Amino acid sequence: MRIVLLGPPGAGKGTQAVIISKRYGIPHVSTGDMMREQVASGSELGRRVKAILDSGELVSDAVIMDVVGERLDRADCASGFLLDGIPRTLGQAESLDRLLASKGRPLQHVVQLTVPEGVLLDRIRQRGTTSGGARSDDSMEIAAKRLEVFWAQTAPVSTYYRKTGLLREVDGVGTVDEVSERVFRCFSLKACSNLVE
Ligand code: AMP
């Protein structure tokens, strides 16, 4: 299975990604985690992207595509993968399509978790108080910036996949299990761009 999971910050992508990847035995490829690992390792790339992560802005398409391209070439992605956090821009969506087409391994599912903005802000606020500062980008100010960046740069990605017919929208409000059930139902539907409730 080759899957992309879309949704704004706070939609629960990370939580659902872990469940989906376990269920299908595919690696969870999170560009946010990969960027945070770079920062933690103190690598040259990590030093360059730290300020970007802390500002809530996006890392450049070229850097992200490089890192992801290399990750997808690893052996564990042979049986498929679940992409979380990418594509974040139209440019990334197009590059990803080209990259996967060149390997003869196009995407099979694009699932978007849909959550109202008020709920997103509540969740992010909670994450900021319970993560003990694990994520330096969880302050409300940065969260608001990340949401703004999402609506401006990432929301068009949904339109892109809607046009290609791959997009499935899932209601992301509910318990973790309820949302995963909706996501799993999506994988068994042939073509459905309706909200799965
Ligand atoms: P995430 O954990 O997915 O919310 O990502 C955390 C941060 O990493 C984002 O706010 C961006 O600064 C950066 N990042 C992660 N994925 C991407 C991407 N696909 N394109 C650009 N920046 C990204």
Q: Which of 105, 125, 135, 145 is catalytic?
A: 135
Q: Measured from the CB, is residue 4 less than 6 Å from ligand 1?
A: no
- Closest atom of ligand 1 to CA, residue 89: 20
Q: Per residue in 43-97, pLDDT tens?
A: 999 999 999 999 999 999 999 999 999 999 999 999 999 999 999 999 999 999 9
88 annotated active-site: yes
Q: Measured from the CB, is residue 58 less than 6 Å from ligand 1?
A: yes
Q: Measured from the CB, is residue 17 less than 6 Å from ligand 1?
A: no
Q: Measured from the CB, is residue 157 less than 6 Å from ligand 1?
A: no
Name the closest-CA residue to atom 15, ligand 1. Answer: 32
What's the pLDDT band for 12 if we cut at 50, 70, 90? very high
Q: What is the CA radius of gyration of the chain?
A: 16
71 annotated active-site: no
pLDDT above 60 (res 180): yes
13 annotated active-site: yes
Burial label for 150, CB within 10 Å (0-12, 13-18, 19+), is buried
Q: Per residue in 160-178, pLDDT tens?
A: 999 999 999 999 999 999 9
Tokens 């309706």: give the residue.
Answer: 194
> How far apart are the C-alpha atoms of 116 and 145, rounded to whole Å?
16
Question: Model's pTM, two decimal places?
Answer: 0.90
Q: Which of 13, 36, 168, 182 is catalytic?
A: 13
Q: Measured from the CB, is residue 59 less than 6 Å from ligand 1?
A: yes
Q: Per residue in 19-30, pLDDT tens?
A: 999 999 999 999
What's the pLDDT band for 138 if we cut at 50, 70, 90? low
Quote the pLDDT of residue 63.
97
> How far apart are the C-alpha atoms of 172 and 183, rounded to whole Å?
9
What's the pLDDT band for 191 if we cut at 50, 70, 90? very low
- Closest atom of ligand 1 to CA, residue 84: 3
> How far apart are the C-alpha atoms of 67 and 26, rounded to whole Å?
18
3-state secondary structure 49-73: HHHHHHHCCCCCHHHHHHHHHHHHC
Q: Per residue in 82-123, pLDDT tens?
A: 999 999 999 999 999 999 999 999 999 999 999 998 888 887
3-state secondary structure 28-40: EEEHHHHHHHHHH
**Looking at this protein, which amino acid is placed at residue 48?**
R
